[in-house]
Amino acid sequence: GNSVTQMEGPVTLSEEAFLTINCTYTATGYPSLFWYVQYPGEGLQLLLKATKADDKGSNKGFEATYRKETTSFHLEKGSVQVSDSAVYFCALSDVQGAQKLVFGQGTRLTINP
């Protein structure tokens, strides 16, 4: 079945550092790929998405590129801020329709000032 694997956390960085959170997936066909962010005590917010190979999703300084050849969708940001501290989830959508999302286990990111 479809699955998503994220790099294990927690990840701790200093403000203005470069961020990479790795995500790889297993799926039949060509799913859409997503990054969601969950701030403490809140639900999930869609951060960015990509719907086909080589698409780059971007939002709030975060970027991720859909790499079909490596089945990856790594999240990057050039200069993180304390406000980026949260849990980040990589997810894919079921290509069979019905929009079922399959999530990775999440990566907790802490940014120190």
Q: Does 77 bind another protein (CB under 8 A)?
A: no
89 forms beta bridges with 36
Kindly write out the interface string for residues 87-106 of this chain, putting x where it contacts another protein by CB under 8 A and - elsewhere.
--x-x-xx---xxxxxxxxx
Q: Does 7 bind another protein (CB under 8 A)?
A: no
Q: Does 51 bind another protein (CB under 8 A)?
A: yes
Element (H, E) at 64: strand 62-65
CB of 7 to another protein, least distance (A): 13
Spell out the residues 6+ positions from residue 66 whose beta carbon is closer than 8 angstroms to its own.
33, 50, 51, 52, 53, 54, 55, 56, 57, 73
Q: Looking at residues 55 to 74 of the shown chain, list those that interact with another protein (rule: CB under 8 A).
A: none
Residue carrying the six token digits 């940001």: 77
**Binding-site ranges for another protein (CB under 8 A):** 4, 32, 34, 36, 41-46, 49, 51, 89, 91, 93-94, 98-106
